[in-house]
Amino acid sequence: MRVLSGIQPTGRFHWGNYFGAIRQYIDLQDEEASLYFLANLHALTTIRDRDLLRELTLDAAIDLIALGLDPDRAVLFAQSDVPEVSELCWLLMTITPMGLLERCVSYKDKKDRGVSADTGLFTYPVLMSADIILYDSDIVPVGGDQVQHIEVCRDIAGKFNHLFGETFVLPKAKVLDDSAKVPGTDGEKMSKSYNNTIELFEPTKSMRKKIMRIQTDSRPMEEPKEPEGDHLYQLYYLFATPAEREEMAALYRRGGFGYGEVKKALADVADRFLEEPRAKREELAAHPKKISEILGDGAAQARSKAQEVLKRAQENCGIKGW
């Protein structure tokens, strides 16, 4: 089974990125083939600063490796280092109906939020489709909000196959665990767009300040509280051991505690959880050339497969092979 997923380097990774996706990517890296790419071509729809995009792309690679992605077990590369994806994207755009893209929920949502409706944003699902089928991917781990894009990918690849003969593998979505939806500092889903995130590698002092500012309800201290559904407890649960979770849940149900006590406990378990990745990240960041080499090696492996699939598509649609 071949697994592929990409993540945009549009900002530093936060708790929601890790528990909602990255942790599960790492769990899948022992499949027959696992490819993970930094979607810097996609990031161009929102980042227009050259130096910032380069910095965020390198930082994303460092973060992923520090968190447990092993380049010896999975292929890690930058999207832009595989130029075959851009050519395949054009081949797919020639047979993609406008109406299919106009129905994409993420495009409409971004327009509603005031994001500039440029061509890159509109054709984002086509490039995403090229990303996926370029490697004969079987499984694509995605959040629930991205499932439609996998369906679009299957529609586009299926149409190409119908027009030009069997060319592409039709991928399946692996929907990431909904229970991993991580609340932000305001209780809503943690997201950069909501400005409610806590970064994974945020300095300890800054992290603790954000935790202490997490919004809570106004119930009196002595009142027993049900931990399920409480966003502060949900965050604690992500980092704590099973025994610590049970102890905290019992404290909630007894009552007679303050949320400040829970916030301090959350900061302590988060600090402990991230201690090893922080140390590893510091070591990796001191050797950026090594990270560039890892990305270069990953791109070489990815291109080997990409060239094979692109050649198949080129010959089947008639632009090569005479």
Q: What is the pLDDT of residues 98-132, one digit of tens each?
A: 999 988 877 777 777 777 778 998 999 999 999 99
> Per the domain annotation, does 186 fall within a domain?
no
Average pLDDT over residues 70-86: 97
Q: Do residues 13 and 22 make contact, with C-beta atoms less than 8 angstroms apart?
A: yes
In terms of domains, do 16 and 146 share one? yes
Active site residue 189: yes
Question: What percentage of the chain has pLDDT greater than the value 70?
Answer: 99
In terms of domains, do 71 and 171 share one? yes
In terms of domains, do 156 and 61 share one? yes
Residue 298 pLDDT > 90: yes
> Per the domain annotation, does 134 fall within a domain?
yes
In terms of domains, do 113 and 202 share one? no
**CATH code of the domain in which 6 resides:** 3.40.50.620
Query: Which pLDDT value is given to residue 178?
Result: 57
In terms of domains, do 11 and 104 share one? yes
In terms of domains, do 23 and 147 share one? yes
Q: Catalytic pick from 159, 174, 189, 210?
A: 189
- Tokens 């161009």 belong to 44
DSSP assignment letter at 319? S
**175-216 tens-digit pLDDT:** 887 555 799 999 999 998 889 999 999 999 999 999 999 999
DSSP alpha helix (H) spans, 44-104: 50-66, 84-93, 98-102
DSSP notation for 178-245:
GGG--B-TTSSBP-GGGT---BTT--HHHHHHHHHT-------TTS----TT-HHHHHHHHHS-HHHH
Q: How far apart are CA 76 and CA 22, in angstroms?
A: 13
Mean pLDDT lowest among 24-38, 277-291, 308-322: 24-38
Burial of 72: CB neighbours in 10 Å, binned 0-12, 13-18, 19+: exposed
Average pLDDT over residues 13-25: 93
In terms of domains, do 38 and 169 share one? yes
> Per the domain annotation, does 268 fall within a domain?
yes
> Per the domain annotation, does 187 fall within a domain?
no
What 3-state DSSP class applies to 30?
coil
Query: Which pLDDT value is given to residue 108?
Result: 75
Query: Which pLDDT value is given to residue 180?
Result: 58
In terms of domains, do 130 and 34 share one? yes
Query: Based on the structure, what is the number of domains in the chain?
Result: 2
> Per the domain annotation, does 119 fall within a domain?
yes
> Per the domain annotation, does 13 fall within a domain?
yes
**Assigned token pair, 169:** 């593998």
Residue 41 pLDDT > 70: yes
What is the domain extent for residue 87? Answer: 2-181+288-317
Q: Catalytic pick from 110, 225, 263, 305?
A: 110
In terms of domains, do 105 and 252 share one? no
Of 253, 263, 87, 92, nearest to 185 by C-alpha is: 263
What 3-state DSSP class applies to 31?
coil
In terms of domains, do 166 and 38 share one? yes
In terms of domains, do 168 and 244 share one? no
Average pLDDT over residues 17-46: 92
In terms of domains, do 87 and 130 share one? yes
- Tokens 């932000």 belong to 184
Q: What is the pTM of this model?
A: 0.93
> Per the domain annotation, does 85 fall within a domain?
yes
Instruction: State the average pLDDT for the chain.
Output: 93
Q: How far apart are CA 5 and CA 98, in angstroms?
A: 25
Distance of alpha carbon 179 from the chain centroid: 16
Q: Catalytic pick from 159, 174, 192, 210?
A: 192
Active site residue 108: no
Query: Which pLDDT value is given to residue 322?
Result: 72
Query: Which pLDDT value is given to residue 51?
Result: 98
Burial 36-55 (b: 16+ CB within 10 A, else e): bbbbbbbbebebeeeeebee
Helix-strand-coil split of the chain, %, nearest 5: 60, 10, 35
Element (H, E) at 264: helix 259-285
